[in-house]
Structure 1
């Protein structure tokens, strides 16, 4: 009996996912656990494994398709199995697309072009257009798309290593082995177009909306990090004996933020034009730099966690985000965000509030300063904090008070732990 493979739902907020790569093709034999295809949401990437043994009888979606969650993308079974129910469902989708196309929406179709005598290849319109622009011989392209289809990346490969069509003496097109990198050196060296990833599109949209719709104001203040650094040094010496993880400076700051926000609830909130939604617990967003772009996982109920528990959870979320395997449900719901650029030596910056939150804390690097203590000049380690708030939701004095209390809590971190 044939089995349909559906597009999984990765998180309650996800409606569709994009297929980025097929690892199998029609007719391939697969075993349970084999990776069938790779797909991504707007912020994370995943692999879908086969749940049954059998043969890939049909592939119903192509690389680059944005597939609604729970829709069938391929069928696995035994040769001769009836798959008409899956094909009819797919046909219904295609008919709907055709109706939309007649109403004026463009529809991309696979086109057949003759690349040389007696040889016809299936080529996507984008690949065909790119090949014509670069005057490339598509017969030399190696198809990597579904069912032997030549797609855009195959033409890009051809542009680097392939053949160019040139004119002979009789003005007929002939194929010469031409080093395209040399022939089109001026064009290729001038620039390279890199398509925006889905993550970058989401970041761009969110950040633009943030600056467009909010009245943002940034405050900067430094604090004496002597006690904080001394406490962390003590932890490092005794962490193994006490069964603690490697607690970082960022963990300590997030702990302090989770406690300080409870006394400044307007910043532990979401703002809209009608109301301010104030949260009773701190759901702390943690900005993470990943190969896919900026992601912000959420440490839910951080105010109820110990310092060690916050550190453990931060490492778990950071690892999942870095690998691109994090659930979208863990990338939403934050009531406040911490963004740390201290490891890059940044001394001050303007973090952008992630709507509908009302504030974000930017953590900067350590610097050496001096102060006068009882008439003596004393060197010390200082850290700067950059705090941006939404001035529609709160006043500047409120933000200044929050930043003052946070700095005092960090300067007296042992006392904060005792509360």
Structure 2
């Protein structure tokens, strides 16, 4: 009998995968572990292997389709075999209706009257019918996830893209109203168009009648010359959405400072000249700065934290995320338990994760769970920049280039120093300016005395 190959769950956080391209066609012969297609999650690209040998009887999706995990992907069997029975056993309509339905835009559920209170059992049922990432996005955007009647995930489960579709639709929810939000297509009677409790109490039809008719947007004249339109998709689209969500849902403030980099450069030179068998020759200035940042975050728990739904969770261990430039876009691998690693092991682990991210072989599970992030643009010569928070984290450190700068010497004379720049972006809802300044002061001490920092 034919075998149905499903889209694998490529990590605990992955809900669906975008098919970039097929490596096989219907009628091709495949063996177990042969590559069927290349897919892209919201974090990385990877290949999907076949779990069966035989002839490709049917491809159930097209390149560009976003396929939920554990859904039928390909049917493999004997040449000329009917794939229908195997698909029926897998709960798939062989007529292809599911393909059309899954590929079509998510239908918008009809708005329901907002309820001011909710029974715990009902909330628990709603949480069980939605994914953790869907709930996190809904909470950050003040969307009542119960208003999404049915999701596009397996068995109608609400997943992240369903919540994003509800956000894009602009419907105001009770949760948004309680948070004082401004709907994108509904204007309230409160200050600045904010939705008040009185607005929520009004019938939907009355609110619609009172709302002014939308005016057509003015179309700007297109510039002369040729151009190319490239829709954002895959990792690039996820980056865009998350950056906007981060900026719109937190109070981000950035603070800058510089440190004498003489100690960093001297220690790096010593490592580079050391016996390769000792394993220190590959340690870079970036490794040293990242290690110092971990120690600073460990000393300042408010910076090593997540803020979700008004609850601040501080972590005892630092799981360091570091921004990594890859051919597919920005990824943030996570060095687990970085605060308990030696400098040598920290450097080795960072380089291995970066290599996997660049090659596209990194596990999605190694791209989540960071408690503090470092973004280093020093190798590009950038002298200062403002990093954006990696929500729900409370702080992110930007590292700039080492450049010669004028500074006061020990006797007050003017000297030229090699100094490194740091930009700390912190969520002001959690971290006050003085707290951010103390973090940076500690970081400067750790960097300027790096030879002692690495001994700890």
Q: Normalising by structure 1, report the TM-score.
A: 0.76
Task: Give 1:101 shift.
Answer: 11
Taking a change above 3 Å as real, the CA distance of residues 271 and 375 of structure 1, as seen in their structure-2 partners, is closer
Task: Give 1:226 shift.
Answer: 0.5
User: Aligned equivalents of 1:302 and 1:388: distance in 2?
Assistant: 20
User: Aligned equivalents of 2:385 and 2:298: distance in 1?
Assistant: 25
Which of 429, 437, 448 is 1:392 aligned to?
429
Does residue 328 in structure 1 map to residue 328 in structure 2?
Answer: no
Q: Which runs of 4+ in 1 moved over 4 A?
A: 92-106, 186-189
Contact kept in structure 2, 1:368 and 1:382, CA below 8 Å: yes
Which of 444, 448, 454 is 1:407 aligned to?
444
Contact kept in structure 2, 1:336 and 1:360, CA below 8 Å: yes
Unaligned runs of 5+ in 1: 107-185
- Aligned partner of residue 190 in structure 1, secondary structure: coil
Q: Counterpart of 2:417?
A: 380
Contact kept in structure 2, 1:72 and 1:86, CA below 8 Å: no
User: Aligned equivalents of 1:59 and 1:101: distance in 2?
Assistant: 14
Does residue 224 in structure 1 map to residue 226 in structure 2?
Answer: no
Taking a change above 3 Å as real, the CA distance of residues 36 and 13 of structure 1, as seen in their structure-2 partners, is same
- Aligned partner of residue 404 in structure 1, secondary structure: helix
Report the RMSD for the aligned CA atoms in angstroms. 2.6
Q: List per-residue Cα deviations over 1:326-361 (Å, max 9, x = no partner).
A: 222111111010000111111111111111111000
Contact kept in structure 1, 2:36 and 2:49, CA below 8 Å: yes
Contact kept in structure 2, 1:339 and 1:351, CA below 8 Å: yes
Task: Give 1:97 shift.
Answer: 7.3
Q: Larger % of strand: which?
A: 1
Task: Give 1:281 shift.
Answer: 0.1
Taking a change above 3 Å as real, the CA distance of residues 90 and 64 of structure 1, as seen in their structure-2 partners, is farther
Q: Counterpart of 1:150?
A: none
User: Aligned equivalents of 2:398 and 2:404: distance in 1?
Assistant: 19
Q: Counterpart of 2:382?
A: 346
Contact kept in structure 1, 2:60 and 2:96, CA below 8 Å: no
Does residue 91 in structure 1 map to residue 93 in structure 2?
Answer: yes
User: Aligned equivalents of 2:269 and 2:106: distance in 1?
Assistant: 66
Contact kept in structure 2, 1:286 and 1:296, CA below 8 Å: yes
> Which is higher, the Rg of structure 1 or of structure 2?
1
How many residue pairs are counted as aligned between the two chains?
A: 340
Contact kept in structure 1, 2:297 and 2:318, CA below 8 Å: yes
Task: Give 1:317 shift.
Answer: 1.0
Q: Counterpart of 1:39?
A: 39
Contact kept in structure 1, 2:333 and 2:357, CA below 8 Å: yes
Taking a change above 3 Å as real, the CA distance of residues 105 and 98 of structure 1, as seen in their structure-2 partners, is farther
Which of 384, 391, 394 is 1:355 aligned to?
391
Q: List per-residue Cα deviations over 1:21-49 (Å, max 9, x = no partner).
A: 11211111223343221111112111122
Q: Counterpart of 1:178?
A: none
Unaligned runs of 5+ in 2: 109-221
